[in-house]
Structure 1
Amino acid sequence: MKNLTFNFFSKSLNMSTTFKMILPDLISDSTKILILLHGMGDDENSWERNTLLDKYLENKSLVVVMPRVDLSYYQNFAKSAYFDFVAFEILEQMKDVFHLNTARKNTFVAGVSMGGYGALKIVLTFPDKFSACFALSPNTDLLESWQEDSSREAWFSALFKDKKTFKNSDNNLFNLIKKPGTGLDKPFIDIECGRKDHFVHRCRSFYEQARKAGFNIVFNTYPNEKHEWSFWDRSIAGIIDFI
């Protein structure tokens, strides 16, 4: 197993950036790719720093890619297209530089909190590129966060313009699940959340509406779990085994 730090100039971000990678010793055409997204206040090192990720990947034919997106909420804004960076450019790097097979059946995305939102947005926008999404304690309703927390006003306005624009856009996950598509167009979605997490009711609402829209989605809750790394550590172990 190899741990790499990859620095390159990103066309999407118009600047140099870094992502972390964990690669198996042997790579084949069937090696899977997991893009693993961080949450608010974290970075590309957070998954390795806060979980036993390396241990869980032992003897797995799985490449894990951990990009840095700062406080972008995986949004294209100003001159930095963070959504395009994660959804497109990283896979281009995996194919062109590391010669990995980026076919849909091999490609997965997961994230925690803000990264859970990003993972859901990516898989709902490009269901033809990702076969499954794993969202851990995701903030599925940013509009509610915006309305409830005035401290987010300047931040979210810079990203999404205003509440009305956001509500009617594809940045609103509830709009994305209403778009037509059946069969393979609707990838598997797994949402995991603790019942003591402040996002659990938002996750439940999203799950119920996605299920009504015909998505292959599961929603698992855990009675004593909160919005914290100890829960996400156990969750990522299960996700890696599933993949």
Structure 2
Amino acid sequence: MALINLSYRTNFLHTYFKTTAVIPDTNKSSYQTLWLLHGYTGDDSAWIRHTNIEKLARKYEIAVIMPEARNAFYTDSDFIPYYSYFVDELIPKIRALLPVSAAVSDNYIAGSSMGGYGALKIGLKNPDIFSKVAALSPITDIVHFRNNPETPMATNTFDTIFDYPDKIAKNQLVNIVSNKNYGQKIMTICGNEDYMYQDNIDFKNFMTQKIGPNYTFHEVTGNHSWDTWTANIETIFKWL
């Protein structure tokens, strides 16, 4: 099992960003790949610190790419055009450096909390890159997240990223999902004590209507924490 720590200068962001990758040691020339996103205040080491990602990558023979996103919300802002960086620079860079497949059927994206939002947004907007999308305790309504008293993100930080109403509307997940059947498989998981539980139930109802049988929801026991995500991350690997 190879644990690779990458640090590189990005032309999009004009600074150095990090990515941690786990590559199974079965010597394949091209691996199925899970792009695994961290949540608010996390970094590229978050999943390694809190879960058994190396063991799961070995068990399921899936390469796992864990990019640093800081607190950019996987969104283009005036300060950090993170979404464009991820799609247009990071993915080609990783594919040039590591033995990961470029086939749509072999590429999946997942994350937790802010990373769950990022996975859903990036995945839904790029069905030509990702065939499956999964999210643990995702932020499914960014306005409700901003205004929720349990939200850890300061409102002025949120407003720096989503700085005008049209931008908020364009980045709401329900507005990104269309009536078109992308053919993607999508799954969300949420704990029954999560402070965004009702938002996730509302999103489940919306997705069930829009996507139909290609969408799966799991309600689990737990809250908005690594305890819940650690207990349920293998559900995503099995599903992939």
TM-score by length of 1: 0.90
Listed as ranges, the gaps of 5+ residues in structure 1 are none
- 1:95 is aligned to 2:92: no
Matched, 1:155 2:153: no
Task: Note the C-alpha offset of 1:61.
Answer: 2.1
Mapping 1:18-167, distance limit 5 Å: 18-28=18-28, 31-149=31-149, 152-162=154-164, 164-167=165-168
Residue in structure 2 matched with residue 220 of structure 1 by the alignment: 218
User: 1:91·1:102 contact (CA, 8 Å) conserved in 2?
Assistant: no
Distance in 1 (CA, whole Å) between partners of 2:14 and 2:237 is 32
Question: Structure 1 residue 10: deviation in Å?
Answer: 1.3
Q: Is the 8 A contact 2:32 2:106 kept in 1?
A: yes
1:148 shift after superposition? 3.7
Deviation of 1:80 after TM superposition, in Å, equals 2.2
Aligned to 1:173: 173
Task: Classify 1:17/1:153 alpha carbon distance in 2 versus 1 (closer, same or farther; 3 Å).
Answer: same
In the aligned structure 2, how far is the partner of 1:135 from the partner of 1:193?
9
Query: Is 1:240 matched up with 2:237?
Result: yes
* Identity value in percent: 26
- 1:205: which partner in 2? 202
Residue 45 of structure 2 aligns to which amino acid in structure 1? N
Q: Deviations over 1:130-158 (max 9, x none)?
A: 01111000110111122345973311211
Counterpart code for 1:228: S
Residue 3 of structure 2 is matched in structure 1 by 3
The one-character-per-residue Cα deviations of 1:96-122 (angstroms, maximum 9, x if unpaired) are: 222432111010000000000000001
Counterparts of 2:196 and 2:148, CA distance in 1: 13
C-alpha contact 2:141 2:172 (8 A) present in aligned 1 = yes
Find the residue that maps to 1:193 and give its secondary structure: strand
One-letter amino acid of the counterpart of residue 10, structure 1? T
**Offset from partner CA, 1:12-58 (integer Å, 9 cap, x none):** 22211110000011343652111100001111111111111122222
Q: How far did residue 173 of structure 1 move? A: 0.5
Name the CA distance, whole Å, in 1 between partners of 2:123 and 2:233: 18
CA separation in 2, counterparts of 1:27 and 1:106? 17
The correspondence for 1:196, drawn from 189, 193, 196, is 193
Residues 32 and 62 in structure 1, CA contact (< 8 A), matched pair in contact too = yes
Instruction: Give the distance between the partners of 2:218 and 2:36, measured in 1 at CA.
Output: 19
Q: 1:234, 1:14 → 2: CA distance?
A: 37
What root-mean-square deviation, in Å, do the aligned CA atoms of Structure 1 and Structure 2 show?
1.8
Name whichever of 115-124 and 138-147 sits farther off.
Answer: 138-147
Q: Distance in 2 between matches of 1:41 and 1:9?
A: 21
Equivalent AA in structure 1 for residue 215 of structure 2: I
Cα distance in 1, alignment partners of residues 225 and 206 from structure 2: 26
2-structure distance, mates of 1:200, 1:21: 31
- In structure 2, the gaps of 5 or more residues are none
Provide the aligned length of Structure 1 versus Structure 2.
237
The one-letter code matched in structure 1 to 2:163 is K
CA distance in 2, matches of 1:152, 1:165: 20
Distance 1:5 1:30 in 2: 19
* Counterpart secondary structure, 2:43: coil
TM-superposed CA distance for 1:181, in Å, is 1.9
- Structure 1 211/59 Cα, relative in aligned 2: closer, same or farther at 3 Å? closer
